Structure 1
Amino acid sequence: MNSIAFGIIIGFLFISLLVLFCILIVKLYMNKVKNYTQQLFQKDIDFQKAINTAMVETQEQVLNNISQDLHDDAGQQLTYINFQLENLKLDYPNLNDVLWPLSQSVGHLSQSIRSISHSLNNQLLLQQDIVKAIATEVERLQKNPKKKLKLSISQSARKELSANEKIVIYRIFQEIINNCFKHAKATRIDIQIKTYPAFVLSVSDNGKGFDYPVVTDGKRTLGLQNMEHRARIIHYDLVIVSKVNEGTTITLSEKL
């Protein structure tokens, strides 16, 4: 009788150990699957970051090339044209009244091209504060009589940004303004910048707006995709709030 009871106990312990062993095997397998999935996910994230970074670097190189061409080619040609106009003024003083408006227009065009060239060149951007760079660009855009731009800056403490952050923030700002002018048909644009405790750039317009939920379902424009890719590269949040006929607000903020 005792031997039977002992055998039952031994069998029970054996089965218990077998079940426990199976549980450990399953747990180890699940952990291995989880770790493998995380590795695949991280590799996918790293791969996407690499693609985004390469894309941004390519775009920056193209913009720098355009900036150089504007400065070296268009800028020099306008300087030559202005030089010719000044010679005409000296040779034909009686044409001064006719040539003066043309000379003024060439001068304004030359200044505009110089400003655009500077805004496209990231090396010039890196040499100045991002808030000052945006303020300078706003000042240039305010010369458009059909658009009313207002800039508000809350800079209670200076926020030091990396070179990559400066370039990305400025390019996103340019993309937002381009959308306001080209697509939204906005007449009023309000720009707000906060530098403390985190950098925040918010741009609101009174344009025609769009159905953002529909756009996020696979119909995003290249401009929106560029902004999203750039924001992810510097680990910033990009929030878009838009309604048809009610305007759009886009906020780029540093994650705390």
Structure 2
Amino acid sequence: MNQIVLGIIIAFIFIGLILFFCVILIRLYFNKIKKYTKLLHQKDLDFQKTITQTVIETQEQVLNNISQDLHDDAGQQLTYINFQIENMKLDSLELEKKLDPVSQSLGHLSKSIRSISHALNSQLLLQQDVIKAIETEIIRLQKNNKVDIKYSFEEIVFKKFDDNEKIIIYRIFQECISNIFKHAKASTMSILITTNPDFKMIIADNGKGFDSSDKKNKLSLGLLNMINRANSIDYILEVESQIGSGTKIILSENKRI
């Protein structure tokens, strides 16, 4: 009888050990799958970032080329035209008053082209503070009477941006502004930038808005491109919009708000 009981106990212990080792093996297997899945996900993220970075670099090269063409070709053509007009004014005093407005218009156009050329050139952007570059562009845009632009910048401590951050932040700013002028039909726009405790840029308008949950709308407004740009520097871009209630775009560092 005692031998039977002892045999049963040994059998239970043996079965228990088998189950214990099975549980350990299953846990090890699942941990291995989890690590492998995480590794694949990270590789996929890295691959996506590499593609995004390549696209961004290509876009920047195209913009730099356009900037150079504007500066060298269009700028020189305007200078030559203005030179001809000035000669005509010297040759005929009667034409001077008539040609003065043309000269002034050419001067304004030349300044605008120079500003646009500088805004497109990433090399010039890298040589200055990105916040100052945004402020300069806002001052230029405020001359447009169609949209009332309000700007606020809050900086407690100076924040230094690396080259990629400068380019991406500025390009996202440009894309937002372009979308508002082209699509929003807004009368007012507000731009808030803060660096405390982390960088955050909020661009809001009172335009027609759209359904921000509709992926087709995001694609049509170029938001997917901005989101990819933000992800490439580990920033987060959020969109809040409703039809008839305007749009708010938030670019933030490190954390969602």
| TM-score (norm. length: structure 1) | 0.95
Deviation sequence 1:201-256 (CA, Å, 0-9, x none): 1111111111111x237853251011101111111121211111111111111126
Whole-angstrom distance in 2 between the partners of 1:236 and 1:254: 5
Where does residue 176 of structure 1 map in the other structure?
176
Q: Which runs of 4+ in 1 moved over 3 A?
A: 216-219
Which whole-Å deviations, capped at 9, do the CAs of 1:22-59 have from their partners, x for residues lacking one? 22221121111111111111111111111111111111
In structure 1, the gaps of 5 or more residues are none
> 1:103 — aligned with what?
103
Q: Deviations over 1:100-150 (max 9, x none)?
A: 111111111111000000000011111111111111101111111222111
- In the alignment, what sits opposite 2:166? 166
- Name the residue aligned to 1:235: 234
8 Å Cα contact 2:210/2:243 also seen in 1: yes
Query: 3-state DSSP class of the match of 1:153?
Result: strand
Q: Which amino acid letter does the alignment assign opposite residue 253 of structure 1?
A: S
1:249 corresponds to: 248
Match of 2:123 in 1: 123
The answer as to whether partners of 1:158 and 1:196 remain within 8 angstroms in 2 is: no
Indicate the residue corresponding to 1:23 in structure 2: 23
* Secondary structure at 2:186 match in 1: coil
Equivalent AA in structure 1 for residue 64 of structure 2: N
Structure 2 residue runs of 5 or longer lacking an equivalent are: none
- 3-state SS of paired residue (1:212): coil
Identity of aligned residues (%): 59
Residues 222, 47 of structure 1: alpha-carbon distance in 2 compared, 3 angstrom cutoff: farther
Cα distance in structure 1, aligned partners of 2:50 and 2:217: 22
Separation of aligned partners in 1, 2:216 and 2:181 = 24
The one-letter code matched in structure 2 to 1:88 is M
| Correspondence for 1:139 | 139
Task: Give the Cα–Cα distance (whole angstroms) in 1 for the partners of residues 203 and 84 of structure 2.
Answer: 43
Partner residue, 1:41:
41
2:81 and 2:98 mapped to 1: Cα distance? 15
The separation in 2 between residues aligned to 1:14 and 1:222, in whole angstroms, is 66
RMSD: 1.5
The residue that corresponds to 2:32 in the other structure is 32
Aligned length: 255
CA distance in 2, matches of 1:255, 1:30: 30
Contact 2:210/2:217, CA 8 A, preserved across alignment: no
In the superposition, the TM-score normalised over structure 2's length comes to: 0.94
